[in-house]
Structure formats: structure tokens, C-alpha cells
Amino acid sequence: MKIAYTHLLSHIQEKPSIEMVSDKLFQLGHEHEVEGNVFNMEFTPNRGDCLSINGLLRDLAVFYTVNLDQKKYTESIDKLKIDFENLSQDICPQISFLKLEIDKIPDTYKGCLNSYFLDLNINKNNFFTDISNYISYETGQPTHCYDASKMNGKLTFQELDSYQEFETLLDKKINLTKKNSVFLLDNQVINLAGVIGGKRTSCTSETKSVFIECAFFKPEAIIGKSLKYDIQSEASHKFERSVDPACHETVMRRFINLVSEHSNIKEMSLVSYKFENITTHRIPVNVSKINQIIGINISEDQYLSYLLKLGFTINDALITVPSHRSDIKTQNDLAEELARAIGYNNIPKIELTIPKGRASNNYEIENKLRFFLLDQGFYEVINPPFVNISSDESIKVDNPLDSNREYLRTNIINSLLDNLIFNERRQKDSIKLFEISDVYTSINNKTHRVRRLSIIASGRAGHNYENFSTKINIKHLTKIFHEALPSENFDFQILTRDSLNTKIKNEIIGCEIDISNFSSEVLDYKETSKSPGNFIQYQPISELPCSKRDLSFSIKDFTKCKSLEDYIFGLKEELLKEVFIFDYFNNEQNAEIKIGFRFIFQSTDLTITEAQVSNIMSVIIDHANKIEGISIPGLN
């Protein structure tokens, strides 16, 4: 909601700067952006009472001298005769109707009405709707204006539970379904209560005679309607957060005053219905409780002075909550009021001592298992549980994001298979992934939860000279897992590539096991991987293709071996993404070492060219050729 700084300022005696007001609004918990001279406010859902100039001023009154001195019509008003029936009094316990007729529609606006449209850059509509909008901005109470000449017949308010067609005053045709609170004129919907009025009875620029409706609707009846029918409605935003049930008389008299400032009123009459008394909340004065909740030591006088400034009244050791503060019911609510007034940041800390607890054993086992997998070169992944494949045990999402995410997965391995293909398409030739997650199924209408570990691997066994030539296979993985965890049955299987859209032929090995009752023997495993000590600064990754080059060296002077390694691993080339030794052979008979390096190049912004790679490789080759005792077979 946008609120102009100048509109607040005209009611604050101290005339604080916009920065000072902004600071105080933050202290009170009212988030906002400052846009020129306008506060773009975002209120918490419990503070519907702040959705107006007066609402914010009531809160700012804890810091400043605030005058809510807007002029109101003070004379007596004739009683309006209206054929109205309220069939849902529980939803609308208070409602008022005001009938006004003016002799001339004004050409221009003056005073606060003019400032409202000018300062907030709002488009005008028609005279009565413009005043209604301003009244909502000033007081927080939405009103609705019906063109009186179109209001012939019986008016009814009720919660309908049947299909109805309805055309809004913004020409949008909607089909009302299920329960909706509506106003009907001779059984035709003319207003979706608390959200938007209808075209049939709407005011126009010609309207001189109006019925103004001012109501209190229970928020539960309004919530979700504007979203359901895709209607932007400031009124529903306010009604959903609750409005002041006791403000009707004031609001109507303010309405009359604004109209009278712009035109002669030929006729006016008012009627108010109260189907339910307004509940007044009273809370005992208990400053020691308040001090305990916040952790401060404030005197009762100080405490009550803050509450008085916020509009609370105190009588006979009871605090009466103002009618606009439907969010205040308990001592904790009052403690928050005081804490806001003092400022959360001004409340001193008090040291907290916590009795020592202990981590559950499940986490110890699970964490050990994860570090074991890290040691074997596996990367941990996390996948969302939503899938489009169902089985008899699948749990269906009633309101999925889309048809591809209609069910909860009954296994993890299929997610890992997708992850594997994703990485193969990015030229990864050694892929080892695992995921530990809860998996949920429905068996005989009962929800079952199982903690599972799923593992998948394919391609080269590793990127070092011992494993580079070995392809991951069942034997390889079973050996590694059995040696470390002999009593657990990791049942590795070859997963078919038949349904996968890929030309790669490497075997995919996977397994998935229940680890809910996993053996504690894993706790004996001595991992070498550690959790990263620092939080690494991530470098944006490239989606461009990479280029690979292999280079083998023959080394006769073994003392040069280390310097070659140091040179290659120390290369600082922006395009060189990775380098590793994929081959190493000590031919003792020939007194020769053969060492092979793989270079992987990738650019972050452009597809790498053959020439770029060749240039870097030439530098490496030139350097190596200059080292006595090192040669490059095939080049020399």
C-alpha cells in the first residue's frame, strides 16, 4: 500500500523528516520502500488496522504528537428507509447504508481529496467512487457506492452456495461457485461482498444520487475470494485482515463532510444495523509479566503511558483494547506492543544457558555413511520428490504444480538416473552420485516412511592413473562396499539404458537400500574426506562444450619428472578447466617413465575454438621440449 509522507506529516506536530518517519516505521515492524515522497508499505497480515493514513498515525502516536482532526459532519441525520434483509448475520454483523443526493458533480477536487490523487498519482474514476477510495485510504474502511437510481427492489445480503453469473464493475464476467457472500437485488447478484461491486448498479460520472454501503465482514468469509476469481481488490485486502467494526458512524460522517466540501447535498439519510454486539477485549494490567516476557524492568507507569499513546484505555487495573486492534488478546500481545515502542534493537540481551543435549544415533550413522561415499568419489545430490510416474504405492498430490509432478516418488534411483543422463550430456565421463532421502508410499491406505540411500555410477572408475582405464562395473563397486561394510547387502544392479535417449554405452550401476536400520558398523569406518572448513565462493559454471587433449611424455631423466608435474599442475590458463594424470608407467627394463596428462578446456562465455586449445598446447609442448631428458613420443 502506498502512503504519502506529506499526508502523514500534516497530522504530526513535530514535523519529522521522511528518514525519521521511515526509521520509526521500521521500529514498529512496518516494512516499506521509500519511493520519492511515498512509502510503499508492506504490512504483516495481523495489522489490517494499519492499512490507512489514520492507522499508521495511530501507531506513530507512540513517538509523536498526532492529531486525527479530520472534519466530520456533526448534525443529526434522517433515518434511511431501505428494503434490506441480512440472511447471513454471522458473516456481516454490522452494516450501515447512507443515501446521498447532490445537485452538481464537481469539476475539480480540493483539499485532501485533491492531494490524494495528485501525490499518489492515482487515476480518478467518478465523484462518489473517488471519495469512497479516499475514505478507504484515510480511515481503512472500504465503502461501496451503488447508483441509487439503479437500486429499485429488495436488497439482500447472504452467503450463497450456488452457481451464479456476475459481471463486475470492471466489466469482468465471473462464474461464482461454491460459497460466496453476496448482495442481491431482487435475487440477482449485484456485489461480491468485500471484494468488488457489480456493473449493474455501479456509479458513473453522471451519478448524483448514491447508496453508500459500509460493512463489517468476518475475514473468514472474504479470504481467498479475490485470488479465486483473479480480481485485484484493495477492499478485500482490508476485509481479509479485518477492519474496525466500530467505525461506521465516523466513516459515514466523514464521507458526508467530503461530499459537502465539493457539492450541495440535496438529500441525506442513514441507517445502521447491528446484528451482534462488538466484543471488547480487556486484559489485566500485569507489568511484571510483561517485564518477564521481554526481559526488561520497566515501571508500570512507563508501560501504561506507552499503551495510552497507542490508543488503549486503562480503568480499574484493566486494559481495554481499541476496537481496531483485533490482533490483541493476551499479555504476550501487549508485550509485543511495548517491545515495538521501546524498539527491539534497544532491548538488551540476557545470556541464555541451554542444557546439553545429544545428537541422535541415526544422524551419526548417516553422516558416517555419507563420508564413506565421499571417499569413494561419490557426490551427494538432492532431488525434489515430485514425479509423473505412479505405481500402486504412489502417493498422489491433490494439487500438483503440473502434470509432470503429480506423484511422490517411490524410489530415488530414477531421480539419480535423470541426474546421470544430465551429466553425461555435459561430457562427464566418470559419474558417481548418491542421495539419502525419506521415501513415502501408501500401502493399504497407510502412509509409510522409509529412509533410503540410493547410489548410481557409470563411466570411468576415476580420474587418476590407477582408475582411468577401469570402467565402473558391479564387481568393482561390490568390492569397495563389501570391504568397508561387510554386513550390509549393497545389491548393485546394471540399470538398462533402453529407455534413455543416449548414445553412450557405459554400464550404469545402481542400488537402493533402506538405511532405517543400518548397521552401526559404519561408525568404525575411518573416513578421509572432511566437511569443508570454509564456505567456498562458488564460480558460475559454463554450459558451453569442453574440449579434451591428451599428452604423453617419455622421461629418461627421472629427476625431471617432478618439475614437469609442477609445471603442468601450476599452469595458469583461464581456459584450462582441469588437468590430471591419466597414465603412469615405470618401464624399469628401458629405464623410462611414461606419464600421460589429460587437459580439459572450457570457456565461460564463448564456445572454445581449436586454435585456442592448440595455442595453449603448443606452449606446454615447447616448454617440455626444452627440458633435457623429456620427450613427447610422436612429436620428436
Partner 1 sequence: MSASKDITPPELIKDRGSLHPINHMKDSIMNLLVSFGFEIVDGPEIETEEFNFDMLNIKKSHPARQMHDTFYVENKLNLLRTHTSPVQIRGMLERKPPLAFISGGKVYRKDDDATHLPMFHQVEGILVDENVSFAQLKDLIYKILYSLFGKDVELRFRPSYFPFTEPSAEVDILSREGKWLEILGCGLVNPVVLENCNIDSSKYSGLAFGLGIERIAMLKHGVTDIREFYKSNLDFLSQFK
Q: CB of 338: closest distance to partner 1 in angstroms?
A: 9
Exposed e or buried b per residue across 417-438, where buried means at least 16 C-beta atoms within 10 angstroms of its C-beta: bebbbebbeeeebbbbbbbbbe
CA 307 to chain centre: 33
Q: CB of 595: closest distance to partner 1 in angstroms?
A: 7
Is the CB of 7 or the CB of 47 nearer to partner 1?
A: 47
d(CA 127, CA 117): 12
Is the CB of 250 or the CB of 419 nearer to partner 1?
A: 419
d(CA 310, CA 296): 20
Applying CB under 8 A, which of residues 11, 150, 208, 370 lies at the interface with partner 1? 370
Q: Dihedral sign for Cα 417, 422, 427, 432, please.
A: negative
443 forms part of the interface with partner 1 (CB under 8 A)? no
Within residues 532-571, the interface with partner 1 by CB under 8 A covers 532, 535-539, 541-542, 556-559, 561, 565
Is the CB of 261 or the CB of 573 nearer to partner 1?
A: 573
293 forms part of the interface with partner 1 (CB under 8 A)? yes
Interaction mask 580-599, partner 1, x per CB under 8 A: xx--x-x----x-x-x----
Is the CB of 123 or the CB of 537 nearer to partner 1?
A: 537
Residue 582's φ and ψ, nearest 5 degrees, are -100, -10
Cell of 322: 481499541
Cell of 375: 571417499
d(CA 510, CA 432): 10
Q: CB of 95: closest distance to partner 1 in angstroms?
A: 20
CA angle 546, 550, 552 (to 5 degrees): 165
Residue type at 136 in one-letter notation: S
Q: CB of 123: closest distance to partner 1 in angstroms?
A: 28
Q: Can you give the length of the chain in residues?
A: 636
Is the CB of 190 or the CB of 339 nearer to partner 1?
A: 339
Within residues 15-34, the interface with partner 1 by CB under 8 A covers 26-29, 31
Applying CB under 8 A, which of residues 24, 274, 426, 476 lies at the interface with partner 1? 426
Q: Tell the burial category of 133 from Cβ atoms under 10 Å away from its Cβ (0-12, 13-18, 19+).
A: buried
Q: What number of other Cβ atoms are within 10 A of residue 200's Cβ?
A: 17
Applying CB under 8 A, which of residues 374, 474, 500, 504 lies at the interface with partner 1? 374
Running DSSP on this structure, what letter comes out for residue 66? B
Q: CB of 349: closest distance to partner 1 in angstroms?
A: 4
465 forms part of the interface with partner 1 (CB under 8 A)? yes
Applying CB under 8 A, which of residues 266, 396, 475, 482 lies at the interface with partner 1? 396
386 forms part of the interface with partner 1 (CB under 8 A)? yes
Is the CB of 262 or the CB of 409 nearer to partner 1?
A: 409
525 forms part of the interface with partner 1 (CB under 8 A)? no
State the DSSP string of 250-294: HHHHHHHHHHHTTS-EEEEEEEEEESSPPPPPEEE--HHHHHHHH
Q: Which stretch binds partner 1 (CB under 8 A): 86-94, 102-110, 197-205, 430-438?
A: 430-438
- How many residues touch partner 1 under the rule CB under 8 A: the total is 116
d(CA 248, CA 254): 10
433 forms part of the interface with partner 1 (CB under 8 A)? yes
State the DSSP string of 74-109: -S--EEPP--EEES-TTT--EEEEEEEEES---SS-
Residue 127's φ and ψ, nearest 5 degrees, are -55, -55
Q: Which stretch binds partner 1 (CB under 8 A): 39-47, 171-179, 269-277, 315-323?
A: 39-47
Within residues 190-229, the interface with partner 1 by CB under 8 A covers 219-220, 223-224, 227
d(CA 79, CA 55): 30
CA angle 291, 293, 299 (to 5 degrees): 10
Within residues 317-356, the interface with partner 1 by CB under 8 A covers 330, 332-333, 335-336, 339-340, 344-345, 347-356
d(CA 551, CA 549): 7
Q: Which stretch binds partner 1 (CB under 8 A): 131-139, 171-179, 275-283, 523-531?
A: 523-531
Cell of 197: 461491486
CA angle 560, 636, 555 (to 5 degrees): 20
Contact 450/518 with Cβ under 8 angstroms?
no
CB-based contacts of 226, cutoff 8 Å, min separation 6: 195, 196, 232, 233, 236, 237
Is the CB of 5 or the CB of 378 nearer to partner 1?
A: 378
Within residues 135-154, the interface with partner 1 by CB under 8 A covers none
Is the CB of 382 or the CB of 611 nearer to partner 1?
A: 382
Indicate left, alpha or beta for 97 from its phi (over 0: left) and psi (-120 to 50: alpha): beta
Within residues 45-74, the interface with partner 1 by CB under 8 A covers 45-47
3-state secondary structure of 546: coil
Q: CB of 383: closest distance to partner 1 in angstroms?
A: 7
Q: CB of 100: closest distance to partner 1 in angstroms?
A: 34
Is the CB of 15 or the CB of 358 nearer to partner 1?
A: 358
Q: CB of 268: closest distance to partner 1 in angstroms?
A: 36
178 forms part of the interface with partner 1 (CB under 8 A)? no
Applying CB under 8 A, which of residues 89, 188, 272, 442 lies at the interface with partner 1? 442
Is the CB of 115 or the CB of 291 nearer to partner 1?
A: 291
Q: CB of 135: closest distance to partner 1 in angstroms?
A: 26
